[in-house]
Homo-oligomer: A and B are copies of this chain.
């Protein structure tokens, strides 16, 4: 198996032809892919990821409002008038069961769209690291890990998650590029205290200061959920 890892969706632009043959795992650990994985495992029917708030609202107005929720964040905070923000704590079974979620988050959604041409496109986070790695192995395809980053920047929580997935893909036998190797090495150094490794990190510090410390605690737990969201034709759903 070949494994390539990219630090941001901007970096993957020239990989168009390659990713058509690949199992792509999009990671936005804090917090889009964690929230989507949690929401689907708590009974949400599907998630429609969109880039813009206006797009989310227009879509909502054209769907059955009984079964649809407007969700997402800007700068980490809830969007006025939306039903749910970007904290996994809000996505309780009571809130989401049977619902389709229209979700707008900046970096995560952009990464999903950047990888839209993939042969298979799954969403990964620490919560489902083992499950998504198992899905990739079953596919028999080479793997591309695409971190959402933050506006083109490298974010450590995504790289640690990439390393956790590389480990669960069976790293020693794989042919890896430099970032896959570095991610794996970093994960092995920090897996005993993944949250501690984020202490000085830009995005995690920002979220902690904004009052989302509990979210970080939740999202930094490895292998808590046995659920793999797949994106296909505009919709994210659990593996059938």
Contacts and interface: CB of A to CB of B under 8 A. Distances in A.
Interface of A: 4-8, 10-15, 149, 151-156, 159, 177-179, 181-182, 186, 200-203
A181 B203 CA distance: 13
Nearest to A158: B178
Nearest to A152: B11
Nearest to A155: B178
Copies of the protein in its oligomer: 2
Q: Of residues A14, A178, A179, A186, which shows the largest number of chain B Cβ atoms within 10 Å of its Cβ?
A: A178
Contact of A154 (B7, B13, B186, B201): B7
A152 B200 contact: no
Contacts of A200: 181
A14 B15 CA distance: 19
A178 B181 CA distance: 17
A207 B21 CA distance: 27
A224 to B, nearest CB: 24
B202 A177 contact: yes
Contacts of A156: 178, 181-182
B152 A179 contact: no
Q: Of residues A153, A159, A186, A202, which shows the largest number of chain B Cβ atoms within 10 Å of its Cβ?
A: A153
A182 to B, nearest CB: 7
Given A182-B186, A186-B182, A153 B202 contact: no
